[in-house]
Chains A and B, each alone.
Chain A
Amino acid sequence: MIRFDKANVTYKGGVSAMKDLDLEIGDGEFVVIVGLSGAGKSTLIRAINGLVPLTSGGLNVNGHDVPNLNAKGRRELRSEVGMIFQGFNLVDRTTVLNNVLMGRLHQVPLWRTLIGKYPEEDIQIAAKALDRVEILDRAYVRATNLSGGQRQRVGIARALAQEPKIVLADEPVASLDPPTSHVVMKYLQQISRDLGITTIVNLHFLDLATAYADRIIGLRDGELVFDGPGSDADEQTFRDIYGRSLTADDTMAKQAAL
């Protein structure tokens, strides 16, 4: 379970990206966070695994008291939380399998990491993760030689290889075309359902959000302005979250038609 308690994040320079946030996300939920660019979506996601520290307030993630973790505790927390990035963040020069094995590092002794010889059971876990996103046959291909959609599937496999309780995805489809976006979103949804992994996804397309979210959280200027089931969210809801009328850019299908 994830619980924010009057949590605040103020960046150097004075931007307040999270304001008195009270939020509880239960185990196994599939949550989509929406909001305009700069609303604080990435800040919220990155606070959960301690990449962004809270300025004040409380945050508990699966029993970890995030604001008060030492370096070791933070690594433990992060090992339980997989992360997926807009830019994939793969090591291009190395193989798909090596990229996915990065998700096993918290279990692998340093000397093994240094010589690049992973234990067989970790390789098996990585293989299973690749199989789940149906890209196991590319295991020994260099990451550069993959298409964008395939790269993001490797990104998902890397997160899965951690055997995480939570998966965070920060605009995972923003660099992909619409059909590929749906493929990636379906994998995320399926994984969440099959493995009971709490999944939190930042999206900026409304149609994607309503299509996949069990629960939608709306942010505006660092404040929570909507929290409800995906089925409750209609155009009026999004107009309220965005504080403006909707445009073609807000919908993937319409934007693709432009």
Chain B
Amino acid sequence: MSESPLRLPPKPKPSPWAIALSIGMVVFTVVCARTVGFSFSGLIEDLGRSNPVAQGLLEISWGEMFSERSRRAFLETLQMAVLGTTAGAAVSLPIALWSTEVGNPYRIPRILLRSFNNVVRAIPDLLWAGLFVLGVGIGALPGLLALFFFSMAVIVKLTADTLDGIDMGPIEAAKASGASHTQMLRTAVVPQILPAYSSYVLYDFELNLRASAVLGLVGAGGIGQRLDFFRNRGDWGKLWGLVLMFFLVVVVVEWLSVRIRRRLV
């Protein structure tokens, strides 16, 4: 017995919006490429030219990876990333709680706090670093301050979004038992978001580690400042040596962080 093929309902046509949007994006990309003067032939020509920076790749200075000064710069970068993340994470939990409806019954302060955090987040970390270098001078401190604000903005945003979707049942139970507001937050809310929050903190540490390499370019300490030093001297072999080392550190940290985060959530 052969079954006759089932007839499906008529297939819906792609929405005109989707078509218009796709076409629009292609056109926009082409226009942008034209305006910045991008062309593939130019790109290939440029890459073909001999270039001292690229040549430095052939003369990587392995020794630079372990020189006293570079090691100290690395350590400073790690310290900046760890301290910036820790300090940012510490203030983020209460701020995230106070900027959501479950954690803060007062509308106006809640909105102010959210807006403040949005403003902080809108400023890129490099700009923060530049501003703090102007404010407190060259060194690790402006870098640390930049990472602190950047961490706060990231962790508060992610945690607040998580808070908007938690189970309200335990909150009702805590209230009904006569718990104070802060006790309720600690016992009914924090345990629900702790795994997600920890995962955001680790993710933020990854971001900070990478950012701290760039921050040095504006004078905010760490490995970036050492990279900038070799760049100005045109010492490309040493520059690449440091970049390679940094790359390895970032890969290892990310690998670890991703594994831990997977277990958390």
Residue numbers of A with Cβ under 8 A of B are: 49, 51, 75-83, 85, 87-94, 98, 101-103, 105-106, 108, 110, 113-114, 116, 155, 158-159, 162
Most chain B CB within 10 A, of A82, A87, A89, A90, is at: A89
- On chain B, the number of residues with a Cβ less than 8 Å from chain A's Cβ atoms is 22
Q: A87-B169, A110-B183 are in contact. Are A102 and B178 (CB under 8 A)?
A: no
B166-195, CB < 8 A from A: 167, 169-170, 172-180, 182-184, 186-188, 191-192, 194-195
> B174, B177, B186 — which one has the most chain A CB atoms within 10 A of its CB?
B177
Asked whether, in the complex, the Cβ of B183 is within 8 Å of the Cβ of A113, the reply is yes
**B23 to chain A: closest CB distance in Å?**
47
Q: When A83-B176, A85-B172, A87-B169 are in contact, do A105 and B195 touch as well, CB less than 8 Å?
A: no
In the bound assembly, the distance between CA atoms of A82 and B186 in angstroms comes to 20
A74 nearest CB across to chain B (Å): 8
The total of Cβ contacts below 8 Å across the A-B interface reads: 84
Asked, given contacts A78-B177, A102-B179, A110-B182, whether A91 binds B191 with beta carbons under 8 Å apart, the answer is yes
A-B pairs with beta carbons under 8 Å apart, 24 shown: A75-B179, A78-B177, A80-B178, A82-B177, A83-B177, A88-B169, A89-B169, A89-B172, A91-B188, A91-B191, A93-B191, A94-B191, A102-B173, A103-B177, A105-B174, A105-B178, A105-B179, A105-B180, A105-B183, A110-B182, A113-B182, A113-B183, A114-B186, A162-B177
Note all chain A residues with C-beta closer than 8 A to B170: 89-91, 102
The answer to whether B178 and A75 have CB atoms under 8 Å apart is yes
B186: chain A residues at CB < 8 Å are: 113-114, 116
| Contact among B180, B188, B192 for A110, CB-based, below 8 A | B180
